Chain A
Amino acid sequence: MDISLSHVDYRYQANTPFERLAIQDVSIDIPSGTYTAIIGHTGSGKSTVLQHLNALLVPSEGRVTIGDREIKAHKKNKDLRQVRRRVGIVFQFPEHQLFEETVEKDIMFGPMNFGVSEAEARIRAQHALKQVGLGEEILVKSPFDLSGGQMRRVAIAGVLAMEPDVIVLDEPTAGLDPRGRKEIMDMFYQLHQERQLSTILVTHSMEDAARYADRIVILQGGKVVKKGTPEEIFSSPAELLQMGLDVPEVVRFQLKLEEKCGMNFNKIYLSIEQLSSAVAEQLGRGVKS
């Protein structure tokens, strides 16, 4: 399912002294089956963009197209549930949304709201729990008895059980330890690969964006300042650094190599493996020092 934003503006608290233009003239295309990263600092408008992706916010100006549904400014947009079933959002700190007595009931909550039968929801719950790497024994536990990391996974399972066509992730690994972080990011990437699940990652981590995404959108001050493939984006690291944005460690390392060891690569490498084989190749050819 394709999602596209065209010339979207959003104003918070319109017509009050607190009025604030959060995003301005944002146009993004997210074709089906892609992995898109939306990057920006705090206050860049990424959360606002995210909430447009399943019509939690309706644009103040412009138009959002989600599949065959069009959401326009200045219009009453009714019955948005179908849209929300197809676009699952994992919010930042999703464990805050847990409320049921047992883990199983909480995971079943989403699917059942969208009209899935209880039996089917139960099967989905078991399946989703396995996907996030938790054992079935916790199905009967209260979600409030779990550890922070487990709660996070249960909440993610709750969104996966809705079986959305598009999954939107808002800093899904905030506050987790490095291992948990990698496990969760790898799990989403695997889902994306296996099922061609469209994935939209909202983050401020350039590392994650470079490693997983095939398209990157950079937001700053509520505007799209750059979009393209990771190679395109990171091909001009100086520009990014100037905008106050980070570049992945690999890219920084490559820049240092070029600067200090007089090496010259004709492209930017986004993984350590690629870079090291490129270095090995150059060294093999022999570098005059």
Chain B
Amino acid sequence: MMEKMIFGRYVPADSVLHRMDPRSKLTMIFLFVCIIFLANNWQTYTIIGLYTFLMTGLSKIPVRFLYGGLKPVIWLVVFTFLLQLFFTREGTLVFHWGVIKIYSEGIKMGFYISFRFFFLILMTSLLTLTTTPIEITDGLESLLGPLKKIRFPVHEMALMMSISLRFIPTLMQETDKIMKAQIARGVEFASGPIKNRIKAVIPLLIPLFVSSFKRAEELAVAMEARGYRGGEGRTKYRLLSWKAADTLQLIFLAVITVLLILFRS
């Protein structure tokens, strides 16, 4: 049922992007989200676009899989485009029919904003597609490390994150299982009148809640039984290692940033 979901999913492969340090990937995504707003004409959008496609290529994720996973989001992108198209009231009037007025700026903004949106989605998906959840949390914990000085509970936050990430697949499986059990008892999730379909969620949600709470309690007991005391003095099994490729990657991104600043109007 949720087999096509692409967000938050990791696809194992052996690519440059997979091998990179999660810290460098996280920094890259963070910077990318910032510099994408520098783009404001076709030259800069082309640069951003080329960069995005280069990264997609480097990730070795099959294009067909990406396409299948991103299909539902494409509608959101199209919607953004239409919104810009119809509601921008600047530039010269290009098209006029009844209440619909399309301006030249509208077309331009529509393209720009939907492309920006699309590139953002693609790049952030690439992060989770090429980095295991554990790596992401380790990377975040390490990047946020300095905040410990101001007593920010970095370790606890990372732990919370890794626990919730860890249980997403479990929760999905559980949802699938309970859904099937209820379908076997005559519930229709995917057809019938809307009112019934909304009601059909109850036999799914209640068992899910019950088992989630139970699981949380069991996990807490198990952690306590093994003497878990938080991050103090804790050493790591997986060590992060910053390699030449990581530095290169960030330098490359810096070059892109400079190019963007030079070409933006």
Contact = CB atoms under 8 A, between A and B. Distances in A.
B186 A114 contact: yes
Contact of B184 (A13, A18, A54): A54
Contacts of B187: 113
A96 B211 contact: yes
Given A17-B62, A96-B178, A98-B207, A81 B68 contact: no
What interface size band does chain A fall in? 20 to 34
A13 B3 contact: yes
Contacts of B185: 97, 109-110, 113, 158-159, 162
B68 A16 contact: yes
Given A16-B65, A17-B62, A99-B206, A89 B11 contact: no
Contacts of B211: 96
B183 A51 contact: no
A84 B180 contact: no
B186 A81 contact: yes
Contacts of A13: 3
A89 B11 CA distance: 34
Contacts of B183: 56, 84
Contacts of A89: 181, 184
B264 interface: no
Contacts of B3: 12-13, 16, 18
B207 A110 contact: no
Interface string B45-68: 000000000000000001011001
Given A99-B202, A99-B206, A15 B182 contact: no
Nearest to A159: B185
Given A97-B207, A99-B206, A113 B186 contact: yes
Interface string A89-114: 10100101111000000000110011
B210 A84 contact: no
A81 B188 contact: yes
B23 to A, nearest CB: 26
B181 A97 contact: yes
A51 B180 CA distance: 9
Contact of A91 (B62, B64, B181, B202): B181
A88 interface: yes
A97 B203 CA distance: 8
B8 to A, nearest CB: 14
A159 B62 CA distance: 43
A204 interface: no
Given A94-B181, A97-B178, A98-B207, A15 B186 contact: no
A159 B188 CA distance: 16
B177 interface: yes
Contacts, number: 63
Nearest to A93: B177
B4 interface: yes
Nearest to B62: A17
A64 to B, nearest CB: 15
A17 B180 contact: no
A81 B203 CA distance: 17
Contacts of B182: 97
Contacts of B4: 16
A51 to B, nearest CB: 7
Contacts of B184: 54, 56, 84, 88-89, 91, 159
B188 to A, nearest CB: 7
A96 B186 contact: no
Interface string B3-26: 110000001000000000000000
B131 to A, nearest CB: 16
Contacts of B65: 16-17
Interface string B30-55: 00000000000000000000000000
B120 to A, nearest CB: 23
A85 interface: yes
A144 interface: yes
A98 B207 CA distance: 6
B171 to A, nearest CB: 13
Interface in B151-191: 174, 177-178, 180-188
B203 A109 contact: yes
A56 B180 contact: yes
Most buried by A among B62, B64, B185: B185
Interface in A4-19: 12-13, 15-18
Interface of A: 12-13, 15-18, 51, 54, 56, 81, 84-85, 88-89, 91, 94, 96-99, 109-110, 113-114, 144, 158-159, 162
Given A51-B180, A91-B177, 18 more contacts: A15-B64, A16-B3, A17-B11, A18-B3, A56-B184, A85-B186, A89-B181, A96-B174, A96-B177, A96-B178, A96-B211, A97-B203, A99-B207, A110-B185, A110-B186, A158-B185, A159-B184, A159-B185
Complex A-B, nearest 9 residue pairs according to Cβ-Cβ distance, in ascending order = A113-B186, A99-B206, A110-B185, A97-B181, A89-B184, A13-B3, A114-B186, A91-B181, A99-B203
